[in-house]
Structure 1
Amino acid sequence: MRLLVLNPNISDSVSALISAEAKRAASPGVLIDVLTAPFGVAYIETRLEATIGAYAATCMAADHHASYDGVIVAAFGDPGLHGIKELLDKPVVGLTEAALTSACLLGQRFSIIAISSRIRAWYAECVAYNGLTSRLASIRGLDQPLSDVGGIQQDHGAALKQLCLQVVEQDGADVVILAGAPLAGLARSLSGTLPVPVVDGVSSAVRHCETLVSLAPGRVTAGSYALPPAKPHTGLPAGLAACLAAGRRPD
């Protein structure tokens, strides 16, 4: 099995974190490749940045999906996820939907720990999109400037752990989700140090994607996730244009 993991931002340091955690989480024999967006922002924090990341992820998926069994959008908030699900004939999984699924299997109410306070409103909207607002205990985030997005775990590890404890003690969380690719792998080091389970989006996405590939649930040929109908277009990258050509998926 081969899985393609897409980092919708331009930070190679974050891609390294994603790659390390994805390979630790993958089952034996599962091959993982990680791609970094060729354009965009250092890390996604706002709706606009998510829009940019969505286009980057879609272009990467169109260009590189052919030799893979499944695709993962490795940014919390799942930029571009549902469009890519329409585009490809294989399982496509996002960090948010995977982490939320894992959290709901582990407890009734979950809290999300984010890398910034600005990101919280958008994350709340993402939870609502997934129909799980009633199970959201809280979203808390760092309130400190981020000098190095790839070094958040080292620079702010103590503060992140304190936020985890706060959502359990003050907000009633049964499960803690560490949100965002820059926090990939942190759940492993915190496991056993918190009084509730802690969930990582990257490892959740890898395992859920493996499961979907193994289930071989069939191709989408109808419904809202079918490939968009053929129509005139201009200015699209070659890979994306090929995927849309004649209203069909390329071989």
Structure 2
Amino acid sequence: MARLLIINPNISPSVTDLIEAEARRAASPGTVLTMATARFGVAYIETRFEAMLGAHATAEAAAEQAAGHDAVIVAAFGDPGLQALREVLPMPVTGLTEAALMSACLLGQRFSIIAISTRISAWYRECVDAHGLLGRLASIRSLGSPLRDVASIQQDHRDALVALAERAVAEDGADVIVLAGAPLAGLARQVRDLLPVPVVDGLSSAVRHAETLAALAPAKARAGSFALPPVKPNAGLSMGIQALLARR
């Protein structure tokens, strides 16, 4: 039985509800889920600066709640704070982007990302590049219209998102479609029969990958770039963050 902590790096409880609903559909019987929502930050992350804020909020949530869990999921596309959390947490950590890209690479050669805003596209491209997969990225296509409510994107823009995915297949040569972002959690399951190629959901991928990592029970790195940070003076940090940095 895996115990997963799922952290929404955004401050939107309605998005956390979407995340939880799809996570429970994807999880294996017996998997226990704990949900956490960022206590500070923005409604949804579109920029590098917002991602930095989300990473801090994610670190605070992990510091407070990760103990007793077998794996942690960063539930925002772009995975803010993911690599840093791997340095300090004793359990495996994965995120929506990493899990979706790994799933996409198992299903086809080239993938396209369907995003909820144009502004977010540059950061997403950088995330793909950081994983060494830019050569397999067919395209990033995004919604161009304003978002009424981050929690209602699926209802408001479902047809437009499907149309973007169809164009990615027909015009960009995508073998796999990745629907990006926590607000789109569960949409892949709803539209899978409308598209001619596999459709990947980052959240369900992250839940399944996290379950696998929990079952493998890997040891925490004691050397290399993901070993614990060195002990040094610090100031102004929360008690939880101080405890993570002091742990040996």
Segments of structure 2 that go 5 or more residues without pairing to the other structure are none
Alignment partner of 1:211 is 2:209: no
Deviations 1:192-234 (A, max 9, x none): 2110000000000000010011012222111100110100000
Pairing 1:215-234 to 2, within 5 Å after superposition: 215-234=216-235
SS in 1 for 2:172: coil
| Correspondence for 1:37 | 38
Aligned partner of 2:217: which letter? A
Alignment partner of 1:27 is 2:65: no
Aligned partner of 2:242: which letter? A
Aligned partner of 1:39: which letter? F
SS in 1 for 2:228: coil
Deviations 1:13-64 (A, max 9, x none): 1101100111100001001111110000000000000000000001111111
2: CA distance, partners of 1:81 / 1:26: 21
| Correspondence for 2:57 | 56
Cα pair 2:96 2:205 within 8 Å, conserved = yes
Deviations 1:53-111 (A, max 9, x none): 00000111111100211100000001000000111011100110100000000000000
1: CA distance, partners of 2:67 / 2:178: 32
SS in 1 for 2:5: strand
| Correspondence for 1:6 | 7
Aligned partner of 1:135: which letter? R
| Correspondence for 2:102 | 101
1: CA distance, partners of 2:62 / 2:236: 17
| Correspondence for 1:169 | 170
2: CA distance, partners of 1:219 / 1:92: 11
Pairing 1:1-251 to 2, within 5 Å after superposition: 1-245=2-246, 248-249=247-248
Deviations 1:104-125 (A, max 9, x none): 0000000000000111011000
2: CA distance, partners of 1:102 / 1:57: 23
2: CA distance, partners of 1:32 / 1:161: 30
SS in 1 for 2:112: strand
TM-score by length of 1: 0.97
Aligned partner of 2:62: which letter? A
Q: Which runs of 4+ in 1 moved over 3 A?
A: none
1: CA distance, partners of 2:18 / 2:49: 24
RMSD, aligned CA: 0.7
Q: How much identity, in percent, do the aligned residues show?
A: 65
Shift of 1:191: 1.1
Deviations 1:142-167 (A, max 9, x none): 00111100000001111011001010
2: CA distance, partners of 1:190 / 1:35: 28
